[in-house]
Amino acid sequence: MNQKKSKKLKLVIASSNAGKIIEFRKLLDDFPLEIIGQPKDFYVEENGKTFAENARIKAIAVAKETGHLSLSDDSGLCVDSLDGRPGVFSSRYANSDKERISRLLGEMENILARSAYFCAALCLASPFQEILLEVEGQCKGLITNSPRGNKGFGYDPIFEVVGSGLTFAEMGSDEKQARSHRGKAFALLKPGIEKLLNSQFFLSSL
Protein backbone atom coordinates (compact mmCIF):
# COMPACT_ATOMS: atom_id res chain seq x y z
CA MET A 1 0.00 0.00 0.00
CA ASN A 2 1.11 3.55 -0.68
CA GLN A 3 2.70 4.67 2.61
CA LYS A 4 1.81 8.34 2.18
CA LYS A 5 -1.81 7.56 1.39
CA SER A 6 -2.28 5.27 4.37
CA LYS A 7 -1.20 8.06 6.77
CA LYS A 8 -3.85 10.47 5.58
CA LEU A 9 -6.65 11.37 7.94
CA LYS A 10 -9.76 9.42 7.04
CA LEU A 11 -12.97 11.26 6.23
CA VAL A 12 -16.10 9.19 5.78
CA ILE A 13 -18.79 10.55 3.48
CA ALA A 14 -22.04 9.79 5.30
CA SER A 15 -23.99 8.73 2.25
CA SER A 16 -24.67 5.64 0.19
CA ASN A 17 -25.54 7.75 -2.85
CA ALA A 18 -22.79 7.07 -5.42
CA GLY A 19 -23.51 10.37 -7.23
CA LYS A 20 -22.90 12.39 -4.08
CA ILE A 21 -19.73 10.48 -3.19
CA ILE A 22 -18.31 11.22 -6.66
CA GLU A 23 -19.10 14.93 -6.23
CA PHE A 24 -17.52 15.04 -2.76
CA ARG A 25 -14.35 13.25 -3.86
CA LYS A 26 -13.90 15.97 -6.47
CA LEU A 27 -14.65 18.78 -4.03
CA LEU A 28 -12.26 17.42 -1.39
CA ASP A 29 -9.48 16.60 -3.84
CA ASP A 30 -7.14 19.37 -2.59
CA PHE A 31 -7.19 18.22 1.02
CA PRO A 32 -4.78 15.69 2.56
CA LEU A 33 -7.69 13.43 3.41
CA GLU A 34 -8.48 9.85 2.53
CA ILE A 35 -12.10 9.95 1.40
CA ILE A 36 -14.07 6.80 2.07
CA GLY A 37 -17.72 5.83 1.74
CA GLN A 38 -19.83 4.84 4.74
CA PRO A 39 -19.92 1.11 5.64
CA LYS A 40 -21.96 -0.98 3.22
CA ASP A 41 -25.53 -1.66 4.40
CA PHE A 42 -25.24 0.99 7.13
CA TYR A 43 -28.65 2.58 7.60
CA VAL A 44 -29.64 5.72 9.48
CA GLU A 45 -33.24 6.78 9.88
CA GLU A 46 -33.53 10.33 8.52
CA ASN A 47 -36.38 11.54 10.71
CA GLY A 48 -35.44 15.23 10.86
CA LYS A 49 -37.88 17.91 9.68
CA THR A 50 -35.22 19.96 7.91
CA PHE A 51 -32.19 19.25 5.71
CA ALA A 52 -29.92 20.59 8.48
CA GLU A 53 -31.42 18.25 11.09
CA ASN A 54 -31.02 15.22 8.82
CA ALA A 55 -27.43 16.18 7.96
CA ARG A 56 -26.62 16.31 11.68
CA ILE A 57 -28.30 12.93 12.34
CA LYS A 58 -26.31 11.25 9.52
CA ALA A 59 -22.91 12.80 10.34
CA ILE A 60 -23.15 11.87 14.02
CA ALA A 61 -24.36 8.32 13.33
CA VAL A 62 -21.57 7.62 10.84
CA ALA A 63 -18.89 9.15 13.09
CA LYS A 64 -20.12 6.91 15.91
CA GLU A 65 -20.17 3.83 13.70
CA THR A 66 -16.73 4.34 12.11
CA GLY A 67 -14.74 6.34 14.69
CA HIS A 68 -13.63 8.73 11.92
CA LEU A 69 -14.39 12.28 10.87
CA SER A 70 -17.67 12.22 8.99
CA LEU A 71 -19.13 14.58 6.42
CA SER A 72 -22.81 14.34 5.59
CA ASP A 73 -25.02 16.02 3.08
CA ASP A 74 -28.76 16.15 3.26
CA SER A 75 -30.19 17.62 0.16
CA GLY A 76 -33.29 17.73 -1.94
CA LEU A 77 -35.49 19.54 -4.34
CA CYS A 78 -38.20 21.97 -3.17
CA VAL A 79 -40.88 22.99 -5.66
CA ASP A 80 -42.63 26.26 -4.80
CA SER A 81 -46.03 25.38 -6.31
CA LEU A 82 -46.02 22.05 -4.42
CA ASP A 83 -45.48 23.75 -1.05
CA GLY A 84 -41.84 22.72 -1.02
CA ARG A 85 -42.32 19.05 -1.92
CA PRO A 86 -40.55 16.68 -2.32
CA GLY A 87 -38.18 18.52 0.09
CA VAL A 88 -36.72 16.24 2.80
CA PHE A 89 -38.57 13.34 1.12
CA SER A 90 -36.70 13.80 -2.19
CA SER A 91 -34.90 10.46 -2.03
CA ARG A 92 -38.03 8.67 -0.77
CA TYR A 93 -40.47 10.10 -3.34
CA ALA A 94 -40.45 6.84 -5.31
CA ASN A 95 -38.19 3.81 -5.73
CA SER A 96 -35.81 4.95 -8.47
CA ASP A 97 -34.58 8.20 -10.03
CA LYS A 98 -36.73 7.49 -13.09
CA GLU A 99 -39.88 6.94 -11.00
CA ARG A 100 -39.17 9.99 -8.82
CA ILE A 101 -38.86 12.17 -11.92
CA SER A 102 -41.99 10.72 -13.42
CA ARG A 103 -43.98 11.25 -10.19
CA LEU A 104 -42.89 14.87 -9.93
CA LEU A 105 -43.57 15.65 -13.60
CA GLY A 106 -46.99 14.00 -13.21
CA GLU A 107 -47.80 16.18 -10.20
CA MET A 108 -46.81 19.28 -12.16
CA GLU A 109 -48.60 18.39 -15.38
CA ASN A 110 -51.01 21.31 -15.35
CA ILE A 111 -48.93 23.71 -13.31
CA LEU A 112 -47.43 26.71 -15.11
CA ALA A 113 -45.45 28.10 -12.14
CA ARG A 114 -42.33 25.89 -12.29
CA SER A 115 -39.92 27.60 -9.89
CA ALA A 116 -37.97 25.35 -7.54
CA TYR A 117 -34.71 25.20 -5.68
CA PHE A 118 -32.23 22.60 -4.56
CA CYS A 119 -30.94 22.82 -1.01
CA ALA A 120 -27.92 21.11 0.52
CA ALA A 121 -27.07 21.08 4.22
CA LEU A 122 -23.57 19.84 5.05
CA CYS A 123 -22.38 18.76 8.46
CA LEU A 124 -18.91 17.71 9.60
CA ALA A 125 -18.76 15.63 12.78
CA SER A 126 -15.68 14.63 14.78
CA PRO A 127 -14.88 10.99 15.60
CA PHE A 128 -16.26 11.84 19.08
CA GLN A 129 -19.63 12.81 17.58
CA GLU A 130 -19.25 16.54 18.07
CA ILE A 131 -20.57 18.88 15.38
CA LEU A 132 -17.55 20.72 13.98
CA LEU A 133 -19.07 22.61 11.03
CA GLU A 134 -22.53 23.16 9.53
CA VAL A 135 -23.48 25.08 6.36
CA GLU A 136 -26.28 25.31 3.81
CA GLY A 137 -26.36 26.20 0.08
CA GLN A 138 -29.16 26.68 -2.43
CA CYS A 139 -29.55 26.78 -6.20
CA LYS A 140 -32.61 28.25 -7.94
CA GLY A 141 -34.14 26.81 -11.06
CA LEU A 142 -37.22 25.70 -12.99
CA ILE A 143 -38.77 22.25 -13.37
CA THR A 144 -38.70 21.37 -17.07
CA ASN A 145 -41.65 19.74 -18.87
CA SER A 146 -39.57 16.66 -19.73
CA PRO A 147 -36.10 15.28 -18.84
CA ARG A 148 -33.05 16.72 -20.68
CA GLY A 149 -29.45 15.51 -20.54
CA ASN A 150 -27.80 12.36 -19.28
CA LYS A 151 -25.16 13.50 -16.77
CA GLY A 152 -25.40 13.72 -12.99
CA PHE A 153 -27.97 11.88 -10.88
CA GLY A 154 -31.36 12.20 -9.20
CA TYR A 155 -33.58 15.03 -10.42
CA ASP A 156 -30.76 16.58 -12.53
CA PRO A 157 -32.51 16.01 -15.92
CA ILE A 158 -35.60 18.05 -14.93
CA PHE A 159 -33.91 20.94 -13.10
CA GLU A 160 -32.98 23.88 -15.32
CA VAL A 161 -30.64 26.22 -13.50
CA VAL A 162 -31.80 29.86 -13.53
CA GLY A 163 -29.78 31.94 -15.99
CA SER A 164 -28.07 28.98 -17.66
CA GLY A 165 -30.73 27.49 -19.95
CA LEU A 166 -29.27 24.08 -19.06
CA THR A 167 -30.43 21.33 -16.76
CA PHE A 168 -27.86 19.95 -14.30
CA ALA A 169 -27.84 16.81 -16.46
CA GLU A 170 -26.72 18.88 -19.48
CA MET A 171 -23.80 20.51 -17.61
CA GLY A 172 -20.25 19.30 -17.15
CA SER A 173 -19.29 18.42 -13.58
CA ASP A 174 -17.23 21.64 -13.13
CA GLU A 175 -20.15 23.83 -14.15
CA LYS A 176 -22.54 21.90 -11.92
CA GLN A 177 -20.11 22.26 -9.02
CA ALA A 178 -19.81 26.03 -9.54
CA ARG A 179 -23.58 26.55 -9.63
CA SER A 180 -25.03 23.81 -7.49
CA HIS A 181 -26.46 23.87 -3.96
CA ARG A 182 -23.75 21.38 -2.90
CA GLY A 183 -20.97 23.40 -4.58
CA LYS A 184 -22.16 26.57 -2.83
CA ALA A 185 -22.49 24.86 0.54
CA PHE A 186 -19.04 23.34 0.08
CA ALA A 187 -17.53 26.78 -0.70
CA LEU A 188 -18.81 27.86 2.73
CA LEU A 189 -17.46 24.72 4.41
CA LYS A 190 -14.00 24.76 2.81
CA PRO A 191 -12.39 27.53 4.92
CA GLY A 192 -13.58 25.71 8.05
CA ILE A 193 -11.98 22.43 6.95
CA GLU A 194 -8.76 24.27 6.07
CA LYS A 195 -8.69 25.86 9.51
CA LEU A 196 -9.24 22.52 11.26
CA LEU A 197 -6.54 20.75 9.24
CA ASN A 198 -4.08 23.56 10.07
CA SER A 199 -4.87 23.39 13.78
CA GLN A 200 -2.36 21.38 15.79
CA PHE A 201 -4.80 21.46 18.69
CA PHE A 202 -7.50 19.82 16.55
CA LEU A 203 -5.16 17.29 14.96
CA SER A 204 -3.68 16.22 18.28
CA SER A 205 -7.18 15.73 19.71
CA LEU A 206 -7.94 12.99 17.18
Q: Is 136 exposed, middle or buried (0-12, 13-18, 19+ CB in 10 A)?
A: buried
CB nearer to ligand IMP: pick between 59 and 193: 59
Distance CA 157, CA 171 (A): 10
Among residues 9, 10, 17, 50, the one that binds ligand IMP under rule CB under 6 A: 17
Assess 102 for contact with ligand IMP (CB under 6 A). no
Among residues 38, 70, 90, 167, the one that binds ligand IMP under rule CB under 6 A: 90
Assess 74 for contact with ligand IMP (CB under 6 A). yes
Which residues from 21-50 bind ligand IMP, rule CB under 6 A?
A: 46
CB 116 within 8 A of CB 101: no
Among residues 143, 155, 161, 167, the one that binds ligand IMP under rule CB under 6 A: 155
Dihedral angle, C-alpha 85, 87, 89, 95, nearest 10 °? 70
Residues 6+ apart with CB under 8 A from 36: 10, 11, 12, 13, 68
Of 33-41, 62-70, 101-109, 147-155, which part binds ligand IMP (CB under 6 A)?
147-155
Q: Which residues pair with 72 in a beta bridge?
A: 14, 123
Assess 167 for contact with ligand IMP (CB under 6 A). no
Assess 91 for contact with ligand IMP (CB under 6 A). yes
CB 169 within 8 A of CB 148: yes
Residues marked active site are found at 74
Residues contributing to the site for ligand IMP (CB under 6 A):
15, 17, 46, 73-77, 90-91, 100, 118, 152-156, 168, 180, 182
